[in-house]
């Protein structure tokens, strides 16, 4: 069973910052939080991963509160090409990232 809950869809406009929040109330001590992006008819693509606090890379930031029961993916200044489905996953690195996918969030970026 999926361990995560996300909004089914979100709308945004080009140039805006988008924040997608994910709930994972039953996250285990060994679990990492990973976000993937998927375009139609393509495999998921890694965006960012974190364990606690804040992680930032060249494309996104990931905010994780102290209790780790939720996380927020932040996409700065989105463009039309960011229209995709975003999946929040929690995985145990000891199991080689065996993921059970939730519904994901369909982000629609409008001009």
Partner 1 sequence: GAVVSQHPSWVICKSGTSVKIECRSLDFQATTMFWYRQFPKQSLMLMATSNEGSKATYEQGVEKDKFLINHASLTLSTLTVTSAHPEDSSFYICSARDSKAAKNTEAFFGQGTRLTVV
Region binding partner 1 by CB under 8 A among candidate stretches 13-21, 52-60, 63-71, 96-104: 96-104
Binding mask 15-54 for partner 1 (x = CB under 8 A): -----------------x-x-x----xxxxxx--x-x---
Q: How far apart are CA 36 and CA 39, in angstroms?
A: 10
In the stretch 59-88, what mask flags binding to partner 1 with x, by CB under 8 A? ----------------------------x-
How many CB atoms are closer than 10 A to CB 20?
A: 21
Q: Is 68 left (phi over 0), alpha (psi -120 to 50) or beta?
A: left
Give the nearest distance from C-beta 44 to partner 1 in angstroms.
Answer: 5
| Burial class, 36, CB count within 10 angstroms (exposed 0-12 / middle 13-18 / buried 19+) | buried
Task: Give 44 or 78: the residue with its C-beta nearer to partner 1.
Answer: 44
């Amino acid at each position: 069973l999926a361990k995560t809950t996300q909004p089914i869809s979100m709308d945004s406009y080009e140039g805006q910052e988008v924040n997608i929040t994910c709930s994972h109330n039953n996250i285990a001590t060994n679990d990492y939080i990973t976000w993937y992006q998927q375009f139609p008819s393509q495999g998921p693509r890694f965006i960012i991963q974190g364990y606690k606090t804040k992680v930032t890379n060249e494309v996104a930031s990931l905010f994780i509160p102290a209790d780790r029961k939720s996380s927020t993916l932040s996409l700065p200044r989105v463009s039309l090409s960011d229209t995709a489905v975003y999946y929040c996953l929690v995985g145990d690195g000891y199991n080689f990232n065996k993921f059970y996918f939730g519904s994901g969030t369909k982000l629609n970026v409008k001009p």
